[in-house]
Amino acid sequence: MSNNPEVKTAFKNSRIKVLVVDDHPIIRQGLSLLFSQKNDMEVCGEADNVETALEQIAALEPDIAIVDISLKDSNGLELIKQIKMQNKKLPVLVLSVHDESIYAERALRAGARGYIMKEELTDNVVIAIRQIMSGKLYLSSLMSEKMLDKLVQPSPGISESPVEKLSDRELEVFQLFGSGMSTKEIADKIHVSPKTVQSYRVRIKEKMNIEKTSELLKYAIQWVSKE
């Protein structure tokens, strides 16, 4: 899915307006510089949080949004779901440091049209945007093969990693837990009560077959350090 198609859409005679949603200024600046060197795309707006992103979408009417998985005030997957509720037709490309084997399929289920690792922050991003704007999906060749294998040879009840058993919200809590955040800090970040976070933690332990919170913390820290 990662070939380099020419843009054969209505955008061939005008610039593709890109909204960049990322909480790292350097990434936003890098993308803006990259797109400014292309004759068919431009950054029309930037945001580092969910509220600003949704406001920018309504005000600027971008042609595509690039969204990071980790944002200041929420999770990129949740933002994608909100974008799809607000504007079903707006395509979203996820650009993230997080392992695509864990997040790419989740991002597509949430409504994204593509997923690309930040380590590929080169012309691959341009290729991905052009491919998505031509009506196709964009994934790395490795991830495409993995998802096709899963369709051809499904293995019900079997996950490559215990983390894959978690829901999107549980995975977010697990990640924040492994990042060293307290229950209250996690609750504040994802806008729920500490009791709700504790309930998530209980479910996470059950799904991952872990009995002690200390064991869960150790696993979460190890997992986050590999991200």
The CATH number covering residue 31 comes to 3.40.50.2300
pLDDT of residue 201: 94
What element of type H or E holds 47?
A: strand 41-47
**Mean pLDDT on 117-134:** 86
In a domain, 3, yes or no: no
CATH number, domain with residue 208 = 1.10.10.10
- Tell me the per-residue pLDDT of 36-88, one tens digit each, with 9 for 90 and over: 999 999 999 999 989 999 999 999 999 999 999 888 777 889 899 999 998 98
In a domain, 181, yes or no: yes
> Last residue of a domain, which of 150, 174, 197?
150
> Last residue of a domain, which of 150, 172, 202?
150
pLDDT of residue 160: 61
Among candidates 32, 23, 18, which has minimal Cα distance to 121? 32
On average, the pLDDT of the chain sits at 85
pLDDT of residue 121: 65
pLDDT of residue 11: 46
Residue 181 near residue 166, CB atoms below 8 Å: no
Query: Can you give the pTM of this predicted structure?
Result: 0.76
Place of tokens 């993308």: 31
In a domain, 1, yes or no: no
In a domain, 156, yes or no: no
| Pairing mode, strands 41-47 and 114-117 | unpaired
Among candidates 54, 121, 120, 122, which has minimal Cα distance to 90? 54
Whether residues 174 and 145 share a domain: the answer is: no
What element of type H or E holds 117?
A: strand 114-117
pLDDT of residue 154: 57
> Last residue of a domain, which of 99, 125, 150?
150
**Domain total in the chain:** 2
Percentage of the chain exceeding pLDDT 90: 52
Among candidates 139, 130, 137, 138, which has minimal Cα distance to 8? 130
Whether residues 30 and 140 share a domain: the answer is: yes
Whether residues 79 and 187 share a domain: the answer is: no
- Tell me the per-residue pLDDT of 158-167, one tens digit each, with 9 for 90 and over: 556 788 889 9
Q: Which two tokens stand for residue 44?
A: 């029309």
For residue 194, the enclosing domain spans 162-226
Residue 93 near residue 111, CB atoms below 8 Å: no
**Mean pLDDT on 17-43:** 92
Residue 6 has pLDDT above 50, yes or no: no
pLDDT of residue 7: 46
More confident residue, 226 or 178: 178
